[in-house]
């Protein structure tokens, strides 16, 4: 955490303690009530952002978890006489279990992202509402909690609720902060920018999404439980209304959904202004204003208030950035973990898409420390092969193995963990991460498994290695194509792979950039990493490769030393057509 953020966190802690002290002193009930509501919204918005803001899976179902919590507490306390505070635990647990169940199904299906996820979660809310309404849980008349004894934490009931709300809000913001700065948080942010690439870089995407969803829902459940006591009369209509999903989205989007403090800021601003309108027609107007604000924010301030403000501060701070201690990559590379001993083997790999057979029984091997060039005309299956080896696709038939470890059918993040790295032909960096953060992510999740502190130094080292040391704090959209390609390389290297798959890394570069890229690949090779190198630029393939394999229409048609392969009749025919062979 930078010094600045440390100061912010400290002042927040002081504010929280101060607010806690106020509770002890005792405020007029109106203020306690008002502040309780603010705390509740802070908890709701911040918890929502843990999945939806960080990972980008916009959920419209936060109301379902809030409602589940409310009804759990209402039922347990009013019907079964369970002490109120215990019901809160149950409320959180029920909501979390609901999320885990829903997530386990939905997150597995690749297509259910974006707007489909949003719609499904919205539908879940209404389904839950209907079930609650039609079963004995509510049955129609609602549940009264007026008979439930309030725990005597403080002098007055509102005081107790105020304290509970404060504790929840502080705990939630603390949790959000912890997650944001943890490996889980890095992984979630990466999922937000490009989930498939995150998976290939080693982030266990399914697990992380589930964890985030469950934590988010659990907190909403507890908030619901407390709120049940606050309203003391729980009905389906009020509980599962569109209010909660709408407001949490707006608060987070306004404040900045990606930042741990953003939703809290948004919650304070929105909730304060909302409660200026009370009841009746004003409530209706209030909702309309909130919706209008949501539209305006999406159109004009998509990042949110907090990140925009921070960016101003950061651009001023960047000029005075102190140099980061660099770990010499040469030293790192000679460490035992990077010395590869296992060959990469593909045996009889088949892959089809729709009706097209992209790969037909491709077999190849890359010996430790070897550079294997993979060439072939357009559509011959080169990129598909890389996608299969790295785990982006599963092969229909055949095996892929690294030494004795089978990689066939494993999720991409496990394959990355076993020492496989790849670059993309059109670079796919994480847009919201700086260059250094991009590389650090690979260091954290790849075979290297660095701690966050080490990862930063490691990343700087690899950036220096690829000549991007001075661009460490730049964002990808500020880099030109050449720099983005080298960023891909640095990112691939930071995972300390045993094998790197390069997919047309030279395409789009001008001649001098190509020369420096070739030099870089040589340097990588000198460190002992095996390279599978797809390229159209034949002269580069000839210069660099130990061996060359030619692919045509999904089949290997030639394999051997570069000179003999490129002179073979069959290969010349494939590239130039028959007459040249005769000439």
Closest to 121 in 3D by CA, of 55, 52, 67, 61: 61
The reply on whether position 278 binds another protein by CB under 8 A is no
Binding mask 416-435 for another protein (x = CB under 8 A): ----------x---------
Segment interacting with another protein (CB under 8 A) among 82-90, 214-222, 397-405, 532-540: 532-540
For another protein, the closer CB: 283 or 526: 283
The rounded distance, in Å, linking the Cα atoms of 162 and 22 is 10
Could you tell me the smallest distance in angstroms from the CB atom of residue 472 to another protein? 20
Cα distances (Å, whole numbers) of residue 388 to 17, 394, 488? 54, 6, 19
Closest to 244 in 3D by CA, of 362, 390, 461, 95: 95
The reply on whether position 126 binds another protein by CB under 8 A is yes
The reply on whether position 487 binds another protein by CB under 8 A is no
Count, residues near another protein per rule CB under 8 A: 69
- Which region, left, alpha or beta, applies to residue 361 given φ > 0 means left and ψ of -120 to 50 means alpha? left
Can you tell me which of 50, 124, 167, 551 binds another protein, judged by CB under 8 A?
A: 124
Can you tell me which of 353, 539, 561, 564 binds another protein, judged by CB under 8 A?
A: 539
Can you tell me which of 288, 335, 523, 526 binds another protein, judged by CB under 8 A?
A: 288
Binding mask 488-517 for another protein (x = CB under 8 A): ----------------x--xx-xx------
Could you tell me the smallest distance in angstroms from the CB atom of residue 66 to another protein? 16
Segment interacting with another protein (CB under 8 A) among 209-217, 226-234, 270-278, 571-579: 571-579
- Which region, left, alpha or beta, applies to residue 304 given φ > 0 means left and ψ of -120 to 50 means alpha? left
Could you tell me the smallest distance in angstroms from the CB atom of residue 388 to another protein? 19
Site for another protein in 301-320 (CB under 8 A): 302
The reply on whether position 241 binds another protein by CB under 8 A is yes
Segment interacting with another protein (CB under 8 A) among 19-27, 70-78, 110-118, 323-331: 110-118
Q: Tokens 């229909």 appear where?
A: 396
The rounded distance, in Å, linking the Cα atoms of 266 and 553 is 55
Label the pairing between strands 344-353 and 397-402. Answer: antiparallel
Q: Tokens 């030109």 appear where?
A: 480
Could you tell me the smallest distance in angstroms from the CB atom of residue 39 to another protein? 24
Q: Taking the CB of residue 10, how many other CB atoms lie within 10 A of it?
A: 10
Can you tell me which of 181, 183, 287, 449 binds another protein, judged by CB under 8 A?
A: 287
The reply on whether position 17 binds another protein by CB under 8 A is no
Can you tell me which of 81, 114, 431, 519 binds another protein, judged by CB under 8 A?
A: 114
For another protein, the closer CB: 13 or 426: 426
The reply on whether position 100 binds another protein by CB under 8 A is no
Q: Which residues pair with 499 in a beta bridge?
A: 420, 530
Closest to 229 in 3D by CA, of 130, 128, 83, 93: 83
Could you tell me the smallest distance in angstroms from the CB atom of residue 423 to another protein? 15
The reply on whether position 536 binds another protein by CB under 8 A is yes
The three-class DSSP label of residue 499 is strand
Q: Tokens 């020492």 appear where?
A: 419
Q: Taking the CB of residue 361, how many other CB atoms lie within 10 A of it?
A: 14
The rounded distance, in Å, linking the Cα atoms of 128 and 244 is 15
Binding mask 127-166 for another protein (x = CB under 8 A): x--xx-xxx-------------------------------
The reply on whether position 10 binds another protein by CB under 8 A is no
Q: What is the DSSP letter of 399?
A: E
The reply on whether position 566 binds another protein by CB under 8 A is yes
Helix (H) or strand (E) holding 4: helix 3-25
Cα-based angle 265, 117, 433 (whole degrees, multiple of 5):
55
The reply on whether position 538 binds another protein by CB under 8 A is yes
Residue 336 has, within 13 A of its CA and on its CB side, a CA count of: 0
Site for another protein in 370-399 (CB under 8 A): 377-379
Can you tell me which of 95, 251, 333, 541 binds another protein, judged by CB under 8 A?
A: 541
Segment interacting with another protein (CB under 8 A) among 237-245, 256-264, 388-396, 408-416: 237-245
**Beta-strand runs (E) in 376-443:** 397-402, 405-406, 420-422
What is the C-alpha radius of gyration for the chain, rounded to an integer number of angstroms? 28
Contact 466, 520 (CB under 8 A): yes
Could you tell me the smallest distance in angstroms from the CB atom of residue 497 to another protein? 26
Q: Tokens 């004003």 appear where?
A: 282
Q: Taking the CB of residue 486, how many other CB atoms lie within 10 A of it?
A: 27
Cα-based angle 280, 282, 286 (whole degrees, multiple of 5):
125
The reply on whether position 284 binds another protein by CB under 8 A is yes
For another protein, the closer CB: 311 or 580: 580
Contact 206, 213 (CB under 8 A): no
Could you tell me the smallest distance in angstroms from the CB atom of residue 562 to another protein? 9
Binding site for another protein (CB under 8 A): 58, 60, 105, 109, 111-112, 114-116, 118-120, 122-124, 126-127, 130-131, 133-135, 237, 241-242, 246, 249, 253, 281, 284-285, 287-288, 290-292, 294-295, 298-299, 302, 355, 377-379, 426, 480-481, 504, 507-508, 510-511, 536-539, 541-542, 553, 566-567, 572, 575-580
């Amino acid at each position: 955490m930078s010094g600045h953020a440390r100061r912010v966190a400290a002042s927040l802690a002081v504010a929280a303690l101060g607010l806690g002290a106020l509770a002890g002193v005792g405020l007029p009930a109106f203020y306690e009530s008002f502040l309780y509501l603010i705390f509740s919204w802070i908890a709701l918005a911040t918890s929502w952002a843990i999945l939806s803001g960080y990972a980008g899976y916009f959920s419209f179902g936060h109301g379902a978890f809030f409602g589940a919590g409310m009804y759990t507490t209402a039922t347990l306390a009013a019907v079964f006489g369970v002490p109120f505070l215990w019901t809160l635990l149950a409320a959180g647990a029920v909501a979390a279990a609901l999320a885990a169940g829903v997530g386990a199904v939905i997150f597995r299906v690749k297509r259910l992202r974006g707007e489909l996820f949003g719609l499904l979660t919205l539908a879940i809310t209404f389904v839950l509402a209907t079930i609650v309404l039609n079963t004995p849980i509510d049955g129609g008349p609602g549940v009264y909690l007026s008979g439930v004894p309030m725990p005597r934490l403080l002098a007055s009931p509102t005081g107790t609720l105020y304290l509970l709300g404060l504790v929840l809000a502080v705990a939630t913001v603390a949790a959000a902060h912890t997650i944001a700065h943890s490996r889980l948080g890095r992984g979630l942010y990466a999922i937000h920018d490009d989930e498939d690439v995150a998976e290939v870089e080693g982030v266990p995407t399914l697990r992380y999404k589930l964890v985030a969803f469950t934590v988010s829902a659990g907190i909403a459940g507890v908030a619901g439980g407390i709120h049940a006591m606050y309203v003391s009369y729980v009905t389906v209509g009020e509980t599962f209304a569109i209010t909660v999903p709408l407001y949490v989205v707006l608060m987070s989007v306004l404040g900045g959904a990606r930042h741990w403090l953003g939703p809290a800021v948004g919650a304070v601003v929105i909730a304060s202004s909302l409660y200026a309108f009370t009841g009746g027609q004003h409530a209706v107007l209030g909702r309309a204003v909130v919706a209008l604000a949501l539209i305006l924010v999406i159109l004009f301030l998509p990042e949110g208030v907090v990140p925009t403000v921070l960016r101003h501060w950061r651009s001023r701070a960047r000029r005075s950035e102190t140099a980061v201690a660099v770990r010499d990559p040469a030293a790192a590379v000679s460490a035992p973990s990077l010395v590869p001993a296992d060959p990469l083997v593909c045996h009889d790999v088949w892959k089809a898409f729709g009706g097209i057979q992209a790969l037909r029984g491709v077999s190849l091997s890359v010996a430790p420390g070897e550079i294997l060039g993979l060439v072939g005309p357009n559509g011959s299956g080169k990129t598909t092969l890389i996608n299969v080896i790295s785990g982006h696709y599963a092969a229909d038939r055949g095996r892929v193995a690294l030494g004795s470890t089978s990689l066939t059918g494993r999720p991409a993040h496990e394959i990355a963990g076993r020492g496989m790295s790849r670059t993309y032909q059109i670079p796919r960096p994480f847009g919201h991460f700086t260059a250094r953060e991009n590389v650090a992510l690979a260091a954290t999740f790849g075979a290297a498994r660095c701690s966050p502190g080490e990862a930063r130094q490691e990343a700087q080292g690899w950036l220096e290695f690829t000549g991007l040391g001075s661009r460490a704090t730049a964002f990808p959209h500020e880099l030109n194509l050449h720099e983005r390609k080298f960023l891909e390389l640095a990112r691939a290297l930071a995972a300390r792979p045993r094998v790197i798959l390069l997919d047309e890394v030279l395409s789009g570069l001008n001649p001098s950039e190509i020369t420096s890229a070739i030099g870089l690949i040589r340097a990588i090779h000198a460190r002992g990493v095996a390279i599978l190198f797809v390229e159209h630029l034949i002269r580069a393939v000839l210069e660099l490769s130990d061996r060359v394999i030619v692919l045509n229409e999904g089949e290997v048609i030639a394999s051997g030393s570069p000179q003999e392969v490129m002179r073979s009749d069959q290969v010349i025919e494939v590239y130039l057509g028959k007459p040249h062979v005769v000439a």
